[in-house]
Amino acid sequence: MSEALVHEAHSADDALVHGAVVLPAQRATVPAAAPVEDGLDTRTLSRSLFLRFAELTPEHPDYAYVRNTLIELNLPLVRYAAARFRSRNEPMEDIVQVGTIGLIKAIDRFDHDRGVEFPTFAMPTIIGEIKRFFRDTSWSVRVPRRLQELRLALTKAGDDLSQRLDRSPTVPELAECLGVSEEEVVEGLAVGNAYTASSLDSTPSEEDGDGPLAERLGYEDAAMEGVEYREALKPLLARLPARERRIIMLRFFGNMTQSQIGEEIGISQMHVSRLLTRTLATLREGLIAEG
pLDDT tens per residue across span 187-198: 888 776 665 556
Query: What is the C-alpha separation between 91 and 58, in angstroms, rounded?
Result: 33
| CB-CB contact of 68 with 107 (8 Å) | no
Tell me which fold the domain 2-137 belongs to. Answer: Rna Polymerase Sigma Factor; Chain: A (1.10.1740)
Query: What is the C-alpha separation between 233 and 70, in angstroms, rounded?
Result: 76
Residue 243 Cα distances to 159, 199, 251, 261, 271, angstroms: 74, 56, 12, 11, 12
140 secondary structure, DSSP code: S
CA dihedral 241, 243, 247, 248 (to 10 degrees): 10
| CB-CB contact of 84 with 98 (8 Å) | no
The answer, yes or no, to whether residue 199 has pLDDT greater than 70, is no
What's the pLDDT at 15?
31
CA dihedral 174, 179, 183, 186 (to 10 degrees): -30
The boundaries of every CATH 1.10.1740.10 domain in the chain are: 2-137
The answer, yes or no, to whether residue 78 has pLDDT greater than 90, is yes
CATH architecture of the domain with residue range 227-290: Orthogonal Bundle (1.10)
What's the pLDDT at 30?
32
What's the pLDDT at 235?
87
The boundaries of every CATH 1.10.10.10 domain in the chain are: 141-195, 227-290
CATH code that applies to domain 141-195: 1.10.10.10
pTM of the model: 0.42
The answer, yes or no, to whether residue 223 has pLDDT greater than 60, is yes
Which residue, 203, 170, 201, 210, is CA-closest to 186?
170
| CB-CB contact of 178 with 153 (8 Å) | yes
Mean pLDDT of 248-259: 89
Mean pLDDT of 7-15: 37
Confidence class of residue 100 from pLDDT cuts 50, 70 and 90? Answer: very high
Which residue, 139, 125, 119, is CA-closest to 43?
119
The answer, yes or no, to whether residue 19 has pLDDT greater than 60, is no
